[in-house]
Copies of this chain bind each other. A is one copy, B any other.
Amino acid sequence: KKTFKIAAIPGDGIGNEVLPEGLRVVEAAARKWSLDLSFETIEWASCDYYLQHGKMMPDDWFEQLKGFDALYFGAVGWPDKVPDHISLWGSLLKFRRDFDQYVNIRPVRLFPGVPCPLAGREPGDIDFVVIRENTEGEYSSLGGRMFEGTEHEFVLQESVFTRRGVDRILKYAFDLAQTRERKQLTAATKSNGMAVSMPYWDERVAAMAEKYPEIKWDKQHIDILCARFVLQPDRFDVVVASNLFGDILSDLGPACAGTIGIAPSANLNPERNFPSLFEPVHGSAPDIYGRNIANPIAMIWSGALMLDFLGNGDERYKAAHDGILQAIERVIAEGPVTPDLGGKASTQDVGKAIADAL
């Protein structure tokens, strides 16, 4: 019987507030369903660590973490302390890339009881999943400056799309669409503007689609696709996107479903060669840190995704995932909820209520 080793990494800002609530619920679930989990808290990977050590993580971070089965991650970033590109490329983006977590799964769902910013939308109208490529694409540190500091200064930045990188995320997304009732897939593109990378992406989408004759698929330019998330959210089932477009769609989608405070994500290395990472879609939100008003549900839901992935089909883990989701649904509908959902509860109140509802 294997014990799953989980590294709990709070990071910055509200990461420190929501992670304990995630752990509270995951531990309660572990007791209830007899899951075999062990936890270790990682104190580095934060801007405060950077201010002390001049780097976000110790040099042997990879060695320290690679033996874990999962990283349960709060959020990183505090731009007044460390510029975002330094803090993120020094932590989260390193995890995603070096642990080859190439699939980023971001479910979007309107829950009963959540005030929806879209007029006239009911639970059931918004229920789709964004599958985001997570290791390449537009997220790149390749490039540089020329004629620096002069009037002629310019910057080049590379986007990188590999056949391996594109095909494996598309395959994941089409496979997923195949398991769903509607069997529908939308690929985000912008081949009319980004004239090198995106026509390639389109080609690979068309090639992959040929292997899935049952899937109804289309491609949509990112500009109109964003508009349709607002105007016709019911028309989406599986949305597959590059790193940047997936990032945008997975903040916009949850906003359309009421709040990014509940949106979870799973950064998967499906082959399980390296730890996968589970984190809320929201960031570290320095502006609200310290007030205990951050919604812990995104963190808690991410914990449920973690258990499901770790269990890899084991019934107890599946039951724990489903149980946490039901508890979340119930607490959203009956309260207590945090201010982003119209309530007055604290982060801890919500965490406790969900743990109790288990």
Contacts and interface: CB of A to CB of B under 8 A. Distances in A.
A230 B247 CA distance: 16
A161 interface: yes
Given A117-B119, A119-B116, A193 B159 contact: no
Interface of A: 77, 83-85, 87-89, 93, 115-120, 138-145, 150-164, 190-200, 221-224, 226-228, 230-231, 243-244, 247-248, 250-252, 254-256, 259-260, 283
A209 to B, nearest CB: 15
A144 B251 CA distance: 30
B244 A193 contact: yes
Contacts of A251: 223-224, 226-227
Contacts of A256: 230
Contacts of A120: 119
Contacts of A161: 154-155, 157
Nearest to A243: B193
Nearest to A77: B192
B156 A159 contact: yes
Contacts of A88: 192-193
A160 B164 contact: no
A196 B138 contact: no
A223 B77 CA distance: 15
A230 to B, nearest CB: 4
Contact of A227 (B162, B198, B260): B260
**Copies of this chain, count:** 2
Nearest to A89: B195
A191 B86 CA distance: 9
Contacts of A89: 195
A156 B160 contact: yes
Nearest to A223: B251
A159 B160 contact: no
Nearest to A281: B223
A254 B226 contact: no
B191 A83 contact: yes
B227 A230 contact: no
B192 A84 contact: yes
A47 to B, nearest CB: 12
A84 B93 CA distance: 32
Contacts of A151: 163-164
Contact of A255 (B162, B226, B255): B226
A121 to B, nearest CB: 8
Contact of A158 (B158, B198, B255): B158
A271 B195 CA distance: 28
Contacts of A192: 77, 84-85, 87-88
A194 B139 contact: yes
B227 A140 contact: no
A135 to B, nearest CB: 12
